[in-house]
Amino acid sequence: MANPIITQPPPPQTSREGRIATHSHIKGLGLADDGSAMEVSQGFVGQQKAREALGLHLQLLRLGRHSGRPLLMVGPPGTGKTALALALSQELGSKVPFCAMVGSEVYSGEVKKTEVLGSCFRRAIGLRIKETKEVYEGEITELTPSEAENPLSGYGKTISHVIVGLKTVKGTKQLRLDPSVYESIQKERVVVGDVIYIEANTGAVKRVGRSDAYASEFDLEAEEYVPLPKGDVHKRKELVQDVTLHDLDMANARPQGGSDIMSVMGQLVKGGRTEVTDKLRREINKVVDKYIEQGVAELVPGVLFIDEVHMLDMECFTYLNRALESPLSPYVVLASNRGMTTIRGTEYDGLTGGSGVGIRSPHGIPIDLLDRCMIVKTALYNRGDIRRVIEIRAKTEGIQLSVEALDRLADEGERSSLRFALQLLTPGSILAKGRGATEVGVQDVGELSELFLDAKRSTGVLRGMEGMQ
């Protein structure tokens, strides 16, 4: 390729830790040191066998012996398959890539099905790049831009250079830097008292945090306090960048407007979805292999979770078979709530002599792929587990429940489903506030049961209507 491969990390994503999502209470698999599942731990209740099985597969992943061994989680709806996959990602940590998708996501009018699957595979494979660079690091004691007359115009002034004073435990140093570095400092919103480092070769500026010397001050803008750096201001430092192969694909697919990651990502935001050619991916893989051989980079295989895997068709399953055999393959976790069902893409229209039924297979997965899978079964929750889950969710959402209301919701969950019982929590709190109460009572749950139907009661109503016709 004419242009070099871009290996810069993507910009940090905005975190939404305060948002209460469906599985906000899940913090991990809840396993003891010996690998056994505790009854209630890290937000998880029940499913001991499934959690212990995932614990063993977690060890496989950490040992690097995961390739070609997909895990298939099967069980009725609402038995925690997605929660188990999320718990697995929590156990791996934030530095290990985790990509979650639903089987129906592959059907797009813009890109091919195999391209969607291929990009998800690449999202789940990380690359940890270690570079030793010369940097200037310390707490800013002085930040003074120096102005000069604009040589291109008789009006206004321009920044000729900037004086930056940096302090460490060992000493201080004053730097005279280029105006482009001052632009980077402004982009990072750096002020006096911040701890930064500046790369000597590129002039890139990174804000580490606020110096802990200012921790006692009333500072609402501080994100985190960091200690004063040790050693000299000018030093050699090992920098670690975590990217995924998909990030490298997209950064090199349309690198207009400059080679820095911000301009590249800005171009990507403007356009729609694009396909990455196999030729480009092969070139990127060559560079990645070269980095790994030189010891500059380390491959970090992550987890690809495909929910509702029965929604994939035969073309996608064929691609999965091939992708699982690749050396660059993440650990694949599949989930399905179907029994014997038809594999999508095998039906015939009947016009060419076919039966129109298609090939039926367990969980809607071809036998050759099913034979590769290690299958874990999830079971229905009993009443005690349902009660504990409702209690944990109510605490997570900040909802007060009376004992009678909790028992009534547990009965609803046992009779209909756990999901239906959880869905009644927030409407119940609204009803309780409407009557001036601080906690959800049994009368609120009773009123909700009259207002909303669960799937079983709705089916019964429809059957009654059919009998009337």
Residue 113 lies in a domain: no
Residue 55 lies in a domain: no
As for how many domains the chain has, the answer is 1
Question: Angle of helix 81-92 relative to helix 48-63, nearest 10 degrees?
Answer: 40
CATH number, domain containing residue 397: 1.10.8.60
What pairing do the DSSP bridges indicate for beta strands 340-342 and 360-362?
antiparallel
3-state secondary structure 248-298: HHHHHHCCCCCCCHHHHHHHHHHCCCCCCCHHHHHHHHHHHHHHHHHCCEE
pLDDT at residue 272 tops 60: no
Distances (CA, A) of 29 to 49, 91, 143, 315: 11, 7, 48, 34
Per-residue pLDDT of 18-70, as tens digits, reads: 445 667 677 778 888 887 888 877 777 878 888 888 888 888 777 766 666 78
The residue that leads in pLDDT, 9 or 172, is 172
Domain extent at residue 394: 383-468
Split at pLDDT 50, 70, 90, the class of 220 is: low
Residue 458 lies in a domain: yes
CA dist 289 and 283 (Å) reads 10
Question: Angle of helix 403-415 relative to helix 442-451, nearest 10 degrees?
Answer: 30
Distances (CA, A) of 218 to 128, 190, 212, 214: 37, 18, 12, 9
Closest by CA position to 345, among listed 114, 109, 81: 114
pLDDT of residue 269: 46
Split at pLDDT 50, 70, 90, the class of 16 is: very low
Report H helices in 64-143: 81-92, 113-123
Count Cα atoms within 13 angstroms, Cβ side, for 311. 15
Residue 461 lies in a domain: yes
pLDDT at residue 216 tops 60: yes
pLDDT of residue 19: 46
Per-residue pLDDT of 304-362, as tens digits, reads: 889 889 999 888 999 898 888 887 788 888 999 888 888 888 876 545 555 567 788 89
| Joined tokens for residue 288 | 């990645």
pLDDT at residue 256 tops 70: no
Q: What is the mean pLDDT of the chain?
A: 79
What whole-number percentage of the chain has pLDDT above 90? 2
What whole-number percentage of the chain has pLDDT above 70? 83
Residue 88 lies in a domain: no
Residue 132 lies in a domain: no
Q: What is the pTM of this model?
A: 0.67
Contacts (Cβ under 8 Å, ≥6 apart) of 450? none
Residue 426 lies in a domain: yes
